[in-house]
Amino acid sequence: MDIKYLSDPKGVVTGVFIPLAEWERLKQQYGIVEGAPAESGAQLQKGLGEALKKAGLNEAGS
């Protein structure tokens, strides 16, 4: 397996990269189910705004 480590500018490892074929094999082997693709920024912002309203906070954070 060809694993590549991702690091920030200070050299701290922040992630791992594996080839797509290996990822597909691991998903099948361990029964990993991926969710839907990430929502757009606009959808995410709307959802966060609604969550803040439910929590009783306004967009300014007060």
pLDDT of residue 46: 80
The answer to whether 36 touches 43, Cβ cutoff 8 Å, is no
The answer to whether 14 touches 4, Cβ cutoff 8 Å, is no
pTM greater than 0.75 (yes/no): no
Record the tokens describing residue 33, joined without a space: 């189910």
The DSSP call for residue 40 is P
pLDDT digits (tens, 9 = 90+) for 12-27: 999 999 999 999 999 8
The DSSP call for residue 39 is P
27 sits in which H/E element:
helix 20-30
Q: Residue 35 corresponds to which amino acid?
A: G
pLDDT digits (tens, 9 = 90+) for 2-57: 889 999 999 999 999 999 999 999 989 998 888 766 666 777 778 778 888 888 76
State whether residue 4 is helix, strand or coil.
Answer: strand
